[in-house]
Structure 1
Amino acid sequence: MTPGSALFCLALNIYHEARGEPKSGQIAVAMVTMNRAEWTPGNICQVVYERRQFSWTHSKRDPTPQEPRAWKKAQAIARGVIDGDHQDITLGATHFHARRVRPGWSQSLEKTVRIGDHIFYTQR
């Protein structure tokens, strides 16, 4: 897996946003990334690194995965999502947040589903 490739960027996003979630939660985060890639100009890496879209991308911490098992799982899920092996269980979601927070932007979107510790939304 090459750093900067779509697969690498998607796997990093899964790892950082959902590594503690069940497989369905990790797939859901990947689907949000893919759904955004459909309506946002650019590739998956541009979607992942778009300013202030995913919390881990604006952290000062080293983004290198530190948990080998979780990183391997994120890579496998990313590959499956890119290959079309998974259905969009988010019902077209383009946004999500952890249940413990209530971001202001969520009021302007339509809730689609809750999976694990995340709530997913789509444009109205």
Structure 2
Amino acid sequence: MLRKMVLAFASLFLMLSFCHEKASAQTTIHTVRKGDTLWKIGKQYGVSLLELKKINKRTNDVLYVGERLTIPPSISAYEKDLLARLVHAEAKGEPFAGKVAVATVVLNRVDHPHFPDSIKEVIYDRSGGYYAFTPVQNGTINQPPSAEAYRAVEEALAFRGLGSGSLYFYNPKTAKSNWVRSKQVTVVIGNHVFAK
């Protein structure tokens, strides 16, 4: 009888160990190193600082060397590339902060209930009868992005949810829509006005 109980316990232990390994294989864990900050870790993995704190049940930004942090899921490589191509096409020649702000507008739309739920759907959205972004219309979105555009996307991903909620941007010298000009301005960076 004791032998059967031991065998049953051993089987249960092995089964639980296997399940734990499988679950942990799908989760990314980061071991904190000297010089790490939540911001740097968020940028490294392309995840929001807010999500990083939430999944690790953090109320502050203090980290300890050797501490293990769970990394929330990030966007796919395809979505990151698509967003970088949009940033490159829309904000070429703009300051780095303007590039980050363009990427942030797309992420804010993904998170907003009145817009599509994915980066691809937001970028290719035609709900107003025309493409929301000029580079989609004129094909410049198909050009390879710069390294700076990728860095801007990483910054925007880490910054996600922390900004002023911009949902639109336009160049006041070329924008023809009075509707977009009627939106509340959140910030002006370079040649772009950002609004919500």
State the TM bucket, normalised to the shorter chain: 0.7 to 0.9
Q: Output the CA distance in 2 between the equivalents of 1:57 and 1:118.
A: 18
Task: Give 1:80 shift.
Answer: 2.7
8 Å CA contact 1:5–1:45 kept in 2: the answer is no
Change (3 A) 1:110 1:46: same
Match of 1:31 in 2: 104
Q: Output the CA distance in 2 between the equivalents of 1:57 and 1:78.
A: 18
Alignment partner of 2:138 out of 59, 67, 73: 59
Q: Give 1:6-45 correspondences, 5 Å limit.
A: 6-39=79-112, 40-45=115-120
The 10-residue stretch of structure 1 (103-112 or 16-25) with the greater mean CA deviation from structure 2? 103-112
TM-score of the superposition, structure 1-length normalised?
A: 0.79
Read off the aligned partner of 1:56 and give its amino acid letter. P
Q: Output the CA distance in 2 between the equivalents of 1:113 and 1:71.
A: 24
Deviations 1:43-75 (A, max 9, x none): 11111111210001011557223xxxx611101
- Could you list the structure 1 runs, at least 4 aligned residues long, displaced by more than 6 angstroms after superposition: none
Structure 1 gaps, min length 5: none
Q: Output the CA distance in 2 between the equivalents of 1:77 and 1:61.
A: 18
Change (3 A) 1:5 1:97: same
Q: Percent sequence identity over matched residues?
A: 28
Counting matched residue pairs gives 113
Task: Give 1:41 shift.
Answer: 2.9
Change (3 A) 1:32 1:85: closer
Larger gyration radius, structure 1 or structure 2: 2
Task: Give 1:17 shift.
Answer: 0.4
Q: Give 1:65-80 correspondences, 5 Å limit.
A: 65=144, 71-80=146-155
8 Å CA contact 2:89–2:140 kept in 1: the answer is no
SS in structure 2 of the partner of residue 113 of structure 1: strand
Superposed CA RMSD in Å reads 2.2
Structure 2 gaps, min length 5: 1-75
Q: Give 1:36-115 correspondences, 5 Å limit.
A: 36-39=109-112, 40-51=115-126, 52-60=131-139, 63-65=142-144, 71-82=146-157, 84-85=158-159, 87-88=162-163, 91-102=164-175, 103-115=177-189
Q: Output the CA distance in 1 between the equivalents of 2:124 and 2:165.
A: 20
